[in-house]
A and B are shown apart, each in its own frame.
Chain A
């Protein structure tokens, strides 16, 4: 079993749609959680950290369920510019960031 698993996608949605990505992790000692986005042939960029209480940043909402070792990302009112690969990232105490394989999103007009 991979340490961080994500929906492989691809997700193809129309503009304005709501889309949700899921991620599970295997190491119960994981401490920090993030969502990064990566555009084609570019470097990953931090989208948002994920906190236990859940957090929102504009159209983006992240949730963490430690008991189920599950992280989610919800994007509301999708824009064309949201098209990218979304990477789930989990960190243990030994500073080893583990990335999922990513979920590809395409938002269409």
Chain B
């Protein structure tokens, strides 16, 4: 079975631009979460979606938004990019929204903002 997939793998943008990152969960998983990981730190929670509804939101500005589609894939959008948005963006899927459910991570999208 395919694991969590993310696209693109790498991305270079300039300040002020907008970016869309995509994630496809493991087949049968209905929950998708997004994380930002900067170098030397652990992942930071951005959003969780379950059944197309937002179930959790981390401490990120409104420039960050996300959505989940009927097929449970998800997009993360970041507007007005800042240099500090440069990071690895990870998507994780799980069977359900409960905190005890194991999350499986995709390989991530490396975003560089110049």
Contacts and interface: CB of A to CB of B under 8 A. Distances in A.
B42 interface: yes
Contacts of B98: 95
Interface string B90-114: 1000000111101111111000000
Contact of B40 (A31, A45, A93, A101): A101
A46 B104 contact: yes
Contacts of B41: 101-102
B99 A44 contact: no
B68 interface: no
A31 B98 CA distance: 10
A93 B99 contact: yes
A32 B45 contact: no
Interface residues of A, number: 23
B42 A99 contact: yes
Contacts of B40: 101
B99 A97 contact: yes
Nearest to A30: B99
B58 A95 contact: no
Given A44-B43, A100-B42, A101-B41, A95 B99 contact: yes
B55 interface: yes
Nearest to B57: A96
Contacts of B104: 46
Contacts of A45: 105
Contacts of A4: 42
A50 B59 CA distance: 26
B33 A97 contact: yes
